[in-house]
Chain A
Amino acid sequence: MAKKSKCEKYGMAITDYILGEQMDMPESELFSHVANCDNCRKDLVNWRNTYAAMKNKAYLEKPEVQQKYRHMLESIKQGKACPEANLPKDEKLIDIQWEIGHPAGTIWNHLAKHGKMTMEELVGKSSLKPIIFERAIGWLAKENKICMTQAKDAVYVYLTPTEQIIARRRQTEANR
């Protein structure tokens, strides 16, 4: 009976240890016990594996993982270094497609729907953060999707004639 309650105490410590939390005992005490107790050793391995499965599930469900996965596959085939291999711990790779390409698509849709408008109107309609908006506008400009004109009091933005044709075609297809 005493043995069981003693192991329960270590069971709680094993939970905390694997989760990286503060334990109620020194680590050395836990490991001396684990070295001599088969059940607790199995318990430690089991909880480590279960927690790994839970962490893996949570990781794979994150939306950005699909992008990361694609980057990784492309880099492997091109023989490049791992995209995130040498980054400092507090930095992460910005997914260009997701964080700039998608907002650019949002802006394109607004311009297709509402036509020519001032930069201020477009910022308001797109509801994007200013920094994201600027990056997305840069993306569209580089891809020759938009034109800009400078008037006395404002900068106007609209889709290039080719993009306007594409937008009209898409609208017609959507109405069918």
Chain B
Amino acid sequence: MFMEEDDQSDEQLAQEYLSGKEEAFDELFSRYFGQIRYYLLTRSWYHKDDNYIDELVYAVFRVLWECLEAKGFKNEGPGSFRRLLCTIARLECYKHDTEHAKNPMTTSAMFPSSFADIPIGTIDEPVNDEPEKESTMDKLNKTLVKLTPDEQKLMRLVANQVKYKDILKEPEFCKYSLDYLKLKIYNIRNKLKKVAP
């Protein structure tokens, strides 16, 4: 009986790639593309720029590919591939971010227009590298479904980086004042609090 591709563990796929099955890397890429992108969005100091994040995603998978090509992966049981990928992602993110900032260890570098000086560790809570029981994306989808249609539309616009002034031009929201719109988003944000760590 054939085993479904999805049933294979990451470690099995990495081993298959090492033994010459090129499609195994495609499967790993497809499995982790969205997750690594989210991981980098939460870690990078420049997360507002989509192109920057795409460059980072590319760099992570490029290093992973080089690592596999150089037989740099050892299967040390379940989770070992994920740990390798998270380590690469963390290091690449740090490397790229430091290249973009003169003094990256302070909040003033993270948020260039501020004069505050908070060590980065206090504000950038570590993200758990281990697989979660329920992914953030699943939690987000479940929570978004519970919002009213107007709230869902508003969050879609916000997620697509539409500015407040442009949201206020939409037919559903043109009667809102700027303050009311801000309050509305703030209230929805409180409903979404359990989505992310």
Interface residues, chain A, CB within 8 Å of chain B?
11-12, 15-16, 19-21, 27-28, 30-32, 34-35, 41-42, 44-60, 68-69, 72-73, 75-77, 82, 84-85, 87, 89
Q: A53-B38, A53-B140, A58-B156 are in contact. List 18 more A-B contacts (CB 8 A).
A: A12-B186, A30-B114, A41-B122, A44-B123, A49-B136, A50-B140, A50-B195, A53-B196, A55-B41, A55-B161, A56-B137, A58-B159, A59-B50, A60-B37, A73-B29, A76-B61, A76-B62, A82-B55
Complex: A92 Cα to B25 Cα, angstroms = 27
- Are B118 and A55 neighbours in the complex by a CB distance under 8 Å? no
Residue of chain A at shortest CB distance from B54: A84
**Which one of A41, A51, A53, A77 lies within 8 Å of B137 (CB-CB)?**
A53
Q: A49-B196, A52-B41, A76-B65 are in contact. Are A27 and B114 (CB under 8 A)?
A: yes
Whether B155 is near chain A, meaning CB under 8 Å from some CB there, is: yes
Contact partner, B114, options A28, A68, A72, Cβ 8 Å? A28
B196 x A60 contact (CB < 8 A): no
- Interface size of B by CB at 8 A reads 55
Instruction: Give 15 A-B contacts (CB < 8 Å), ordered by A residue.
Output: A15-B185, A27-B113, A41-B123, A46-B197, A49-B42, A50-B193, A52-B196, A58-B159, A60-B34, A68-B54, A76-B29, A76-B58, A76-B65, A77-B22, A77-B25
B170 within 8 A of A: no
